[in-house]
């Protein structure tokens, strides 16, 4: 029997009981995959992370990410929340300004920035893999039926549904109005039939927005039967998609609000850079707050 420390955080927010919940299990080197999956089921959150010693010398830690049913190579709010916690616990050397670290993930060794001001962590920024855009028409009529909205509600601003990957392949779904976004209701079996095996998430968004945000989005994972209140990986893919289609320029901060319809408002910041190869590189940032800590026996 082992007792392991774990923490629960709310991510992409600075207010407890909003944002996206995340469980982080520390010192998980001796756990095998089946145990990690069982713990993730026990936590019953969209994701649980396990912090291990890295296998790659470039990385400070290895972060493994599990949903209740599978391991993911990369995800946004788990990375942001895990490194926020590690910075607060002193695993990351603390310094004023920006600290650069490397993390080992299932998608490779990727950089993370931790921004600190006046002795407090302010923001964590993760870099995702270069955006990949997948051609091919999506059956809009079937997609509309899977989301419980009319076919005419999908599109706008010259945009069409498209699969994009920045570590995970996900379907970007533009809708014309906030009213249409509010009406979305996932029919899991219909949506899964459209996504599988190409992707695991439909990220439905609108540019019909007022206030601080540029985009409002909702995220649906039919294999998990959930709506997610904040999805950093999909936000990176969405930012890349919007830059690729000329809605926003590279290097502009794109502000995304999510989780409003769930009563868990979340704020996600995305900046898309273009590298020397012409690839779009998403940088996704946000804050987090600790809400729970304890031990788990396995």
Catalytic residues: 47
Give the CA distances from residue 266 to residues 40, 61, 168, in Å, rounded to whole numbers and listed in that order. 22, 26, 21
Nearest one of 96, 94, 105 to 71, comparing CA atoms = 105
Encode 112-145: b = buried (16+ Cβ within 10 Å), e = exposed.
bbbbbeeeebebbbbbbbbbeeeeeebebeebbb
**Other CB atoms within 10 Å distance of the CB of residue 292:** 12
Q: How close are the terminal C-alpha atoms of the chain, in Å?
A: 6
Return the axis-axis angle of helices 140-147 and 188-195, rounded to nearest 10°: 140
Write the DSSP symbol of residue 207. Answer: S
Give the tokens for residue 123. Answer: 């923001």
Beta bridge partners of 281: 273
Distance CA 235, CA 255 (A): 10
Phi-psi region of 225 (alpha: psi -120 to 50; beta: other; left: phi over 0): left
Q: Which residues contact 136 (CB under 8 A, 6 or more apart)?
A: 163
Nearest one of 225, 217, 160 to 192, comparing CA atoms = 225
Tokens 């999909």: give the residue: 234
């Amino acid at each position: 029997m082992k007792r392991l420390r774990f923490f629960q955080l709310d991510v992409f927010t600075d207010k407890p009981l909003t944002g996206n919940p995340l469980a982080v299990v520390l010192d998980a080197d001796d756990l095998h995959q089946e145990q990690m999956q069982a713990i993730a089921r026990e936590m019953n959150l969209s994701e649980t992370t396990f912090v291990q010693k890295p296998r790659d010398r470039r990385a400070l830690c290895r972060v493994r990410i599990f949903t209740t049913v599978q391991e993911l190579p990369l995800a946004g709010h788990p990375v942001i929340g895990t490194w926020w916690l590690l910075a607060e616990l002193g695993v990351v050397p603390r310094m004023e300004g920006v600290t650069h670290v490397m993390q080992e993930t299932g998608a490779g060794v990727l950089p993370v920035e931790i921004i600190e001001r006046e002795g407090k962590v302010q923001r964590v920024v993760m870099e995702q893999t270069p955006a990949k855009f997948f051609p091919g028409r999506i059956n809009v009529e079937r997609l509309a039926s899977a989301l419980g909205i009319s076919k005419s509600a999908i599109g706008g601003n010259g945009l069409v549904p498209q699969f994009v990957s920045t570590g995970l392949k996900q379907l970007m779904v533009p809708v014309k109005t906030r009213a249409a976004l509010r009406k979305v209701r996932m029919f899991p079996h219909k949506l899964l039939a459209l996504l599988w095996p190409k992707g695991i998430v439909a990220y439905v968004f609108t540019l019909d927005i007022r206030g601080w945000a540029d985009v409002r989005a909702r995220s649906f994972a039919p294999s998990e039967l959930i709506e997610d209140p904040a999805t950093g990986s999909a936000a990176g893919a969405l930012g890349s998609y919007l830059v690729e289609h000329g809605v926003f320029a590279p290097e502009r901060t794109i502000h995304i609000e999510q989780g409003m319809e769930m009563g868990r408002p979340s704020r996600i910041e995305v900046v898309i850079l273009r590298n020397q190869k012409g690839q779009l590189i998403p940088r996704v940032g946000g804050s987090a707050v600790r809400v729970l800590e304890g031990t788990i026996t396995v």
